[in-house]
Structure 1
Amino acid sequence: MDKKSKIIIGILIILVISLIAVNVFLTPSSVKSNENHTITDMANRSLTVPESVSKVVSTSPPITTILYMIAPDKLGGMNFQWTSDELKYVPSQYQNYPNIGGWYGTQTGNYEQFLATEPEIIFDSVDESGEVSDVEDRQKKFGSIPDVAVYDDTNITTMNSPIEFVGKVVGEESKAKELNEFNEKNINKVESVAKNIPDSERKKVYYAESTDGLSTDPSGSVHGQLIDLCGGKNVADIGNSNSSSSVQVSIEQVIKWNPDIIITTDSEFYNGVYNNSKWSNIKAVKNHQVYLSPSSPYKWFDRPVGANMIMGVPWTAKVIYPDKFKDINLKDETHEFYKEFYHIDLSDDQVTELLKNSGLNETNM
């Protein structure tokens, strides 16, 4: 082989090596995607988690709801099954999440189902007590997959922290920030008005639960917190406000309270209340002031208590005090929230229908 040929071959070898090097630097490598880092979760536990995350699940509906809002393409499963009505507000690409249960009120979690989704991270919930024994037990069964504890905040005004934390762990800080900013905007607007409503002018509100409407949550309960936040007076001044369970009441007690407004999350109660003689003499019923919380794909008002209630803040304000909150355009708020956080771009007619079905007149939207 002559000298010229050797030089050409040498140049070709250098070019091939250069191309390989460029490809290595420009293409995400398996080494990069598998890099880990250490975090401190919201129960103050140190855990090693992947730097880049593509699949996560949660043991608790409130955290799953946050994940759906900020990272739907990374969510590997739901804790429940959406109904056919709820699926109308879910884009087709997100309608087939497997139902893997969870460990919360129903305790329907199945370790095999969780592991079958092949998650890189599992999010678990801890309450204000900080008790982590259940989380530690589940961590043992999840093996090497980190079970990251998130504070399951039930207060709509302090929910920013878990949203921000989850967003950081899954690499969606920007979307989490958008969600928090939407929440803060409406909370600030509502609180600035509600604090100036004299006690004598506060409307009396009853939260009707169950099909007969005779379960409720007392004033101060997290389940009725949107009433308090928006300046309403929860008439149910009974029971333990720290309890997560509703309180049974009689129709005679509701008649005695005689609320100006009734809010419910139960469609069966809502659809029958105006034709029910037992309720006919109550002020809210006589004045056609009964409202059904929108519930697709999640309830706006309650159960679960979580980020799904963010859209419930402006809705509840308009329900109780439409005149005091004229500067809230509920149609615009609904369209923005569904587009940005439920990932579906509703038409004007769809937004109007959603709000009308809740009992609102179009002039109060």
Structure 2
Amino acid sequence: MIPRRVLLAAPALVAAPARAERVVPDATGRRIAVPDRVTRVFPAGPPAAILLYTLAPDMLAGWPARPPRPAEAVFMLPEAVALPEIGRLTGRDNTANVEAVLRQRPDLVLDYGSVRPVFVSLAERVQAQTGLPTLLLDGALPKIPETYRLLGEILDRRDAAEARAAAAERILAEAVAAAEALRARGRPRVLYVRGPRGLETGVAGSINTEIIEFAGAENVAASALGAGSLVQFSMEQVFAWNPDWIIAIHPDFMATVKADRLWSSVPAVRAGRVALAPGLPFGWVDFPPAVNRLLGLMWLPVLFGLRPRAGLVEAVAEFHALFYHRRPEPAQVEALLRPALPA
């Protein structure tokens, strides 16, 4: 995972403190005073923005990286799409500073992802520099139901949070059962590729490839390269790994495997076992690694032949209706699945 770091370049300004009415825990065990009524939340990065959008889009102050593009916007609420870019506090492209945060007049700052000590320190630093309550929630896949329930308590959206937590529990339980069946049958060896040339991947411990292992497959890069986050690799390594499946997230990679002499000679490519993970409005495997990955857990058992395709279109539409607040047409879902489920 890309290391998260704060870019608070402006002088340390302190917001006028809102009267704290209650103390709530975040996922790290910190107990933080927050306003009794929260109406506006600053998401520290894209994962937090997606989590907040799925639960309480009316509280979202804006988009940390960029507003949704037209192809993404058709799957989302128009009023959320219209929110401005507000800058981000985490990741490689930090653009927010203290003044940018305070300009949005949020009641609190929300971060979502790793809860390792370095990120706890980051949250504490943001809180100290902005004077705003800063919560860090656990982004691990198995924690999604717990995260929804905790955020529902904090935002006073308990019913909405419970509906999403229950749906996430069902998806996770079905994914665990499918993974057990896959291991009994024989784990497919998967190479997950990022970028148009497909020469970046995640290794063991990377939140970017977490769902590959969760779904019961073997991440060949993790087996070969050990623990870490995102790494570059070579075509020589691809041939040595000889994966059963290649899963990509960049649409241009599908053209690369046809035009590039080396990629087109990889056995998995010759056999047609290259799948493009859907990415609208958010990625199903990664990019960003948030609750949107639940869709990937619904899709991968179908890709690996454990479950029939029948019913997947409706299941995806129901997920969109609950989590993204807009039910897509069957033709829209079919278009997402076409490159994701090669014949």
What's the TM-score, normalizing by structure 2?
Answer: 0.85
Assess if the C-alpha contact under 8 Å between 1:35 and 1:52 holds in 2: no
**In structure 2, C-alpha distance between the alignment counterparts of 1:217 and 1:342, rounded to whole Å:** 27
Q: Which residue of 1 aligns with 2:100?
A: 113
**Structure 1: gaps spanning 5 or more residues:** 1-33
> What is residue 111 of structure 2 aligned with on the other side?
124
- Divergent runs of 4+, >4 A: none
Partner of 2:268: 284
Is the contact between residue 316 and residue 333 of structure 2 (CA under 8 Å) also seen in structure 1? Answer: yes
| Structure 2 residues without counterparts, runs of 5 or longer | 1-18
Q: Which has the higher contact order (CA 8 A, sep 6+)?
A: 2
Find the residue that maps to 1:186 and give its secondary structure: helix
Contact 1:43/1:126, CA 8 A, preserved across alignment: no
Please state whether the residue corresponding to 1:279 is helix, strand or coil.
Answer: helix
Mapping of 1:139-218 within 5 angstroms?
Answer: 139-143=127-131, 145-147=132-134, 149-153=135-139, 155-198=140-183, 201-218=186-203
DSSP 3-state at the match of 1:151: strand
Superposed, 1:70-149 pairs within 5 Å as: 70-81=55-66, 82-106=68-92, 107-125=94-112, 127-131=114-118, 132-143=120-131, 145-147=132-134, 149=135
Q: What is the rounded CA distance, in whole Å, between the counterparts of 2:233 and 2:240 in structure 1?
A: 11
Aligned-partner Cα distance in 1 for 2:53–2:183: 39
Task: Say if 2:53 is the partner of 1:68.
Answer: yes
Distance 1:346 1:46, change over 3 A: same
Cα RMSD of the aligned pairs, angstroms, is 2.4
User: Do structure 1's residue 271 and structure 2's residue 255 form an aligned pair?
Assistant: yes
Q: Mean alpha-carbon deviation: is it higher for 290-299 or for 198-207?
A: 198-207
Aligned to 2:224: 238
Instruction: Map Cα deviations across residues 145-187 of structure 1 (whole Å, 9 max, x no partner).
Output: 322x22332x212232222211211111222222222222122
Residues 37/198 of structure 1: CA separation in 2 closer, same or farther (3 Å cut): closer
Count of equivalent residues: 322
1:360 is displaced (CA, Å) by 4.3
Contact 1:338 1:345 in 2 (8 A): yes
- Cα distance change of structure 1 residues 48 and 328 upon mapping to structure 2, 3 Å threshold: farther
Q: TM-score, normalised by structure 1?
A: 0.80
Deviation at 1:46, TM superposition (A): 3.3
Measured at CA, do residues 60 and 328 of structure 1 come closer, stay the same or move farther in structure 2, by a change above 3 Å?
A: farther
8 Å contact 1:57–1:75 — kept in the other structure? yes
Q: Does 1:330 align with 2:318?
A: no
Percent identical among aligned pairs is: 27
